[in-house]
Amino acid sequence: MTRMRILLAALLLAVSAGVPAHVAAQARPAALPQEPGAQPGVVPPPAPQFPEIQVPPAELPDPDFGDFGRSRRAALRIGQDYRLRAGDEVRDVVMIAGNATIEGRVDQDVVVVLGAVRIGSTAVIEGELVVVGGGFEAPP
């Protein structure tokens, strides 16, 4: 194995030594066209540098809120429990094989499949509440 490395290094050295200098050197850039009346070998002054204009970034709308301040965020959980705390707001709640505790505001529907729903006294559900294969608990 060591012989092979030595032979490869010697071959590389022999090949690189035999290459003419003009082939191994980098190509020179092409001469720039001269303006009429310009003296050869005189480099014109560089173009003026202008200050970079700073543009403030545009304010993007909050992705969690749509028209009229309503939330566009939805809660989807599969095999996990979910709790919407008082003061929080979502568009929809969809639960599959998990329990939901709703104490905040839901703009549209709450759907729970194979789980239980607990509605707190501060909960507001603007749409419908659907429970399939689970339980429902609400304050009196």
> pLDDT tens digits for the chain (140 residues)?
466 666 666 666 666 666 555 555 555 555 555 566 666 666 777 777 877 777 777 776 655 555 555 556 888 999 999 999 999 999 999 999 999 999 999 999 999 999 999 999 999 999 999 999 999 998 87
Taking the whole predicted model, whether its pTM rises above 0.75 is answered as no
Determine which helix (DSSP H) or strand (DSSP E) holds 75, and give its type and residue range: strand 74-78
pLDDT of 41-73, one tens digit each?
667 777 778 777 777 777 766 555 555 555 568
Q: Which pLDDT score, from 0 to 100, does residue 23 have?
A: 53
**pLDDT the model gives residue 73:** 82
List phi, psi (to 5°) of 16: -70, -30
Task: Indicate the domain borders of the chain.
Answer: 70-137
CA angle 135, 115, 127 (to 5 degrees): 75
Contacts of 59 (CB under 8 A, 6+ apart): none
pLDDT value for 140: 79
Q: Which residue from 86, 72, 77 is spatially nearest to 111, judged by alpha carbons?
A: 77
- Cα radius of gyration rounded to whole Å, the chain: 37
Amino acid at 140: P
Amino acid at 110: V
